[in-house]
Every structure is written in structure tokens, then in C-alpha cells.
Structure 1
Amino acid sequence: MIREDGIKWDGDPKKGDQKFIHALSSVGYHSVAPDLRGFSDTEAPTSITSYTCDHIVNDLVALIDSLGVEQVFLVAHDWGAIMGWYLCLFKPERVKAFVCLSVPFTPRSPQMKPMDRMQGFFGDDYYICRFQAPGEIEVEIAELGTTNVLKTIFSVRKPDPPCFPKGNAFGIRTNASISFPSWLSEEELTYYVTKFDQKGFIGGLNYYQAIDQNWEVTEKWTGVQVKVPVMFIVGDLDMVYTTLGTNEYIHNGDFKNDVPFLEEAVLMEGVGHFINQERAKEIGSHIYDFIKKFK
């Protein structure tokens, strides 16, 4: 399994996502959950080019090889899901089936670079556009504090595209308390903060800053379908799902056209972006029911 923020699903109650890994363990699955490069205890190279999809897929293939297996069941969320799609696209023979959480496949558009398209749709304050200026967001995060920033990210449930105005990107008011989501413990948040404070946010931001480079790397993959069995799960309050055009893409047949072996797209009501934590047991059951068909 892969997730975007470097937290390992290893069942340690001092680490994030223990509810989810326990849900999977209870139905008999052992998992290996790598940190993506740039997160947690991994190396965090400063060069943006070190975070392009070809590098990350090579990391994943090397990991699969080290396990001594030809294929894996893949479960991934957010940036992990994005890199999971690239793994399925580049190396479909290494993936038996893919359970994708939150982020659907995004076909490459040959006409326009992704950042030009996002800026045109959403403007300069769109969060991904704001992340393109190296150093800017890091300064704001340092001023606000990692704890406040992460707590805000976990708590947000806005249906509009996230916009980060300059000066206070995360909309945190001085001295205002930020409530914990019911599914997030203080112990989990402390672990996240500790890990992000090790190396800062450079790894995570570099993934965003490499988006246009991924577009260049994948030129020969334009129009290529993802041909592995897929289950897709998303919450109806997830900002990815509510972003302009995404839910239409998922439901109007275009997603199925690009991913012909898409077996199911599950929309969970009343759930936000961090679906694997908010509804851990349900997600674990969905995963189990899907992958047991391939055993």
C-alpha cells in the first residue's frame, strides 16, 4: 500500500492509520506500506526532478522486486494514488489489482500543460498553483506552525476548489481553536507533526512542482489506457471529487473508457478526503471484498 504523506501502515498505535491497518489485518491481509521518497524517514532530495513519476515508479518496482514477488495488490491514496496510476500505466504486469482511494486516473492532455490548465480554470490562488513558487508556502507554514497547518488540512470540508491567498494560505485565524475531526486522535496528529518536522514539507511540495515535468515524461503514454482491475472509492465531500469536472468524469463513462477494467466506483456519503482514516473499517471491507476475488 502507498500513501502520500509518508506514514507507514504498520499497526503501531503510535503511528497514523492504525485503525485502517487493523481493519485489513482483521480480514487476513499482511501489508507493506512504503514511504514515498521525501516523506518521513526517507531521503528527501531537494531537486524537483527527483520526484517525477518515472523515478517513483522505479522505486516501487524495486520494492516489489525486493519482496520476491511478481505482482502485488495495490492500495493507494492521494499522491500515493497518483503514483499508483503511473505504476499501473507503466508496469501493468506488476499489479494484480488496484484499489484507488480519492484520486481518479487523469488522462494526459496533449494540448495543454497541467499547470496552464489549472491556472486557467481556477486562478493564481488555486492551491496547486500557489505550490509552484519554491519557498513561499514553506515560509507561511513555518509562521503558522506544522501542528496548526496539519490540523487544518485534516479538518477542511469545503466543496469549492481550495484556494490559498497570499499572506495566510491556510486561512488560520490567530488564537482561533481548530477542532479535531472525530476520527483523528491527538496521538496520530503528534506523530504526523513529528515526521513532517524532520525534513519539512519539501518532499510533498516537490511532487506538486513536478506536475508539468510528469506531463513531459509521459508524452508517449498519451491516450494509453490503464489495463489492470480497479476499484475506486471516494467520499462525496472530498475536495477532489467536488472539483470542477471530476465527478462528471467519474460518472459519465469517461473514467471507464480510460480504465476499461474499472470494476466499481464507490461513492461514500458524508466522507471527506482522508477516507482511509475516517471510515477505516468500511474501506478495509471494500478492499477485502474486492481483492479476494483474485486470490
Structure 2
Amino acid sequence: MEGIEHRTVEVNGIKMHIAEKGKEGPVVLFLHGFPELWYSWRHQIAALGSLGYRAVAPDLRGYGDTDVPSSVNSYTIFHLVGDIVALIDSLGVDQVFLVAHDWGAIVGWYLCLFRPERVKAYVCLSVPYLPRNPKVKPVDGMRALFGDDYYICRFQELGKMEAEIAKDSSEQVIKSMLTGRTTGPLILPKERFLSHPSTKPLPSWLSQEDVAYYASKFEKTGFSGGLNFYRNLNLNWELTAAWTGAQIKVPLKFITGDSDLVYTSSGTKQYIESGGFKKDVPNLEEVVIQEGVAHFNNQEAAEDISNHIYDFIKKF
């Protein structure tokens, strides 16, 4: 894409691919989710990079043109946050504006928890802060609530999940996941990742060229890297016991769609409306609920997201 440059940096023992636009100005760091890439932020990189900011988006560990360690235990939250701290160091700055979505948002929350001095302000999409429940491991809690076929529980199946995904083309998997509009708990059918591969035309915000780009990268890496983020949820719970009850003190704006499966199925709406979110994140300045928008709001409502980011970070 025009004006976006690509390079590889050494961080935390791995080679990480980053896309960036803008040489000067404050750094805006974008973290993607599953099953995505730096490319998920293409519209925001272009927008913020043209507004005097240095927009930077990596392929996270296990994705795209970044290294894909083979060990499941190489994807703990300490590894993922360590990668981002090293990336910030490599950019030659002390602080960044952080923008993150889905699993990137979770990494972002822990970055704010572990190293808040590195984050000037945070624009978080889709996934709110999930305070640690000292009594229940996260995957165990999800299994009790939604059953064994809940997608995060199914993702724990090492090797088996990869084999199921491989029954469909990477292009079909990407198309179905990015355009899915499930508003309840995401349940995966047994023995098959996609029960009915999508034959619907692509929405206006996602082109065949976009799908092909994602698919080309996942054809190379497979999906194990991304799945391994989920496979460390219980281990992360054990590793982060010392932060039980800790608050996030970074200034924050939260944006989600009213058709996002996270907002509609995991207690997020109640967490926000009850004041629990504000209690855990006292510097939460604004919550934006986008009407008619689903999970991948940085792509579906790209211009609106770019405007929200700029309106928030220009105050600092």
C-alpha cells in the first residue's frame, strides 16, 4: 500500500516484521488479533501516518512474516509483552500511543499492567480488561459456562484443531471468520472447523484481494502460532497471580460494535454498564458502541475507527 514501508527487527530472540508509515511524530503502535496480521490496520496506518504520526504495526509472534516458534510455551503473555517492549525500544522512543484489537487488545492490557510507563494512552477495540479471577482458571471457567465446544475450549486441542482447519482452504477460513456475525457464544461443530463454508459475497469493506493477502500468509505459517495464544490462557493465569486485583491506570478509550460476539456473549455489556470496567480501569475516559458493527470493527468501520483514534490521542 502506498507510503507503507516494511522491515524486520530483532526483538526478544525473534525476528519481527513491521509495517510503518511516517518518519516523525509520536508513535502509534497497532496490535492485531486472530486470525489477522499487520494488514488489519492498513486503513488506520494510512490515516494516522498522514496526520503527523509515526504509525507502526507488527505481525505478532507466530503470524505473517514474523518468526513462528514451534513450542506452545513460547507464547505466554510474558513472551508477547516482552516482544512489544523490545519493539518499542527498537523504535527509539520511551512511550507510544497504543491501539489494539482482539488478542492484540489482551497483549495491550498486560503491557499497560506490566509497563504502564511505556504507554501514553490506549485505544482498545473489542476486548475489555479481563481482571484475574483468583478462584477459576479462564479456560476452565469458559468450559463450565459454554461447554466443551466453545471455540476457546476447542482451540486447546493441540494438533487436532490444526487438522480440522486444514480441511478447508486458508482463504475460506479467513473469509468465514472475518465476515462472521455470530452474536452469541461461538460454538464450533465437532470434527470440523467450518460447518458451512461461506458462499456469501464479500461485504464492501473486505475485498477478494484482502482475503488473498491474509490467506497467502497463513498458507505459509499455518494457524498454530495464533492458536498457541489461546493455549496459554491457563498458564498466563498462573504466571500473573501477583497482579490479582491490580488496576490499569493508563488513559483509555474503548470501542466495540453492538454486534460483536465479545460484547454480546461474555458479560462485556454488563461489565461496562455496571461500572465494573471503570472500577478496574479508573482512567477510562470514553466507551463507544458502534451500531450494526461486528467484531472486526477496525476493518468494517475503518474510517470511524481512525477518527476515534485521532480524536482521542490528539489530546495528549
Residue in 1 that maps onto 2:169: 145
Q: Work out the CA distance in 1 between the residues paired with 2:166 and 2:293.
A: 29
Question: Does residue 95 of structure 1 match 2:126?
Answer: no
Aligned amino acid, residue 246 of structure 1 = T
| Deviation for aligned residue 1:200 | 0.1
Question: Does residue 134 of structure 1 match 2:158?
Answer: yes
Residue in 2 that maps onto 1:7: 37
Q: Work out the CA distance in 2 between the residues paired with 1:228 and 1:99.
A: 10
Q: Deviations over 1:154-189 (max 9, x none)?
A: 11112110000212232225xx62331221011111
Alignment equivalent of 2:236, drawn from 181, 206, 214: 214
Q: Deviations over 1:222-261 (max 9, x none)?
A: 0000110010000000001011311100221000000000
Residue pair 2:100, 2:123 contacting (<8 A) in 1 also: yes
Residue in 2 that maps onto 1:44: 68
Number of equivalences:
286
| Deviation for aligned residue 1:17 | 4.0
TM-score by length of 1: 0.94
Alignment equivalent of 1:187, drawn from 179, 204, 209: 209
Q: Work out the CA distance in 2 between the residues paired with 1:88 and 1:230.
A: 10
Residue pair 2:142, 2:153 contacting (<8 A) in 1 also: yes
Aligned amino acid, residue 96 of structure 1 = K
Q: Work out the CA distance in 1 between the residues paired with 2:139 and 2:170.
A: 26
Identify which of structures 1 and 2 has the higher relative contact order when contacts are C-alpha pairs closer than 8 Å and 6+ apart.
1
Residue in 1 that maps onto 2:98: 74
Q: Work out the CA distance in 2 between the residues paired with 1:143 and 1:23.
A: 37
Residue in 2 that maps onto 1:11: none
Q: Work out the CA distance in 2 between the residues paired with 1:16 and 1:73.
A: 17
Distance 1:62 1:17, change over 3 A: closer
Residue in 2 that maps onto 1:114: 138
Q: Work out the CA distance in 2 between the residues paired with 1:278 and 1:190.
A: 17
Question: Which stretch has the larger CA shift, 146-155 or 113-122?
Answer: 146-155
Aligned amino acid, residue 32 of structure 2 = R
Give secondary structure in 2 for the equivalent of 1:120: helix
Give secondary structure in 2 for the equivalent of 1:37: coil
Write 1 or 2 for the structure with the bigger share of strand: 2
Residue pair 1:102, 1:240 contacting (<8 A) in 2 also: yes
Question: Does residue 279 of structure 1 match 2:301?
Answer: yes
Question: Does residue 30 of structure 1 match 2:54?
Answer: yes
Give secondary structure in 2 for the equivalent of 1:157: coil
Distance 1:66 1:276, change over 3 A: same
Residue in 2 that maps onto 1:12: none
Residue in 2 that maps onto 1:226: 248
Q: Work out the CA distance in 2 between the residues paired with 1:235 and 1:153.
A: 16
Q: Work out the CA distance in 1 between the residues paired with 2:52 and 2:303.
A: 13
| Deviation for aligned residue 1:27 | 3.0
TM-score by length of 2: 0.88
| Deviation for aligned residue 1:30 | 2.1
Q: Work out the CA distance in 1 between the residues paired with 2:62 and 2:261.
A: 24
Question: Does residue 161 of structure 1 match 2:185?
Answer: yes
Give secondary structure in 2 for the equivalent of 1:228: coil
Q: Work out the CA distance in 2 between the residues paired with 1:48 and 1:137.
A: 14
Q: Deviations over 1:252-285 (max 9, x none)?
A: 1000000000101110000011100111111111
Q: Work out the CA distance in 1 between the residues paired with 2:166 and 2:200.
A: 17
Q: Deviations over 1:115-155 (max 9, x none)?
A: 11000000000000000111112111111111111111011
Q: Work out the CA distance in 2 between the residues paired with 1:128 and 1:69.
A: 35
| Deviation for aligned residue 1:83 | 0.2
Give secondary structure in 1 for the equivalent of 2:217: helix
Residue in 1 that maps onto 2:3: none
Q: What percentage of aligned pairs have identical amino acids?
A: 56
Question: Which stretch has the larger CA shift, 237-246 or 253-262?
Answer: 237-246
Alignment of 1:256-271 (within 5 A): 256-271=278-293
Q: Work out the CA distance in 1 between the residues paired with 2:244 and 2:82.
A: 20
Q: Which stretches in structure 2 are left out of the alignment for 5+ residues?
A: 1-29
Give secondary structure in 2 for the equivalent of 1:100: strand
Give secondary structure in 2 for the equivalent of 1:32: strand
Residue pair 2:32, 2:40 contacting (<8 A) in 1 also: no
Give secondary structure in 1 for the equivalent of 2:47: helix
Residue in 2 that maps onto 1:251: 273
Q: Work out the CA distance in 1 between the residues paired with 2:70 and 2:220.
A: 14
Q: Work out the CA distance in 1 between the residues paired with 2:44 and 2:210.
A: 13
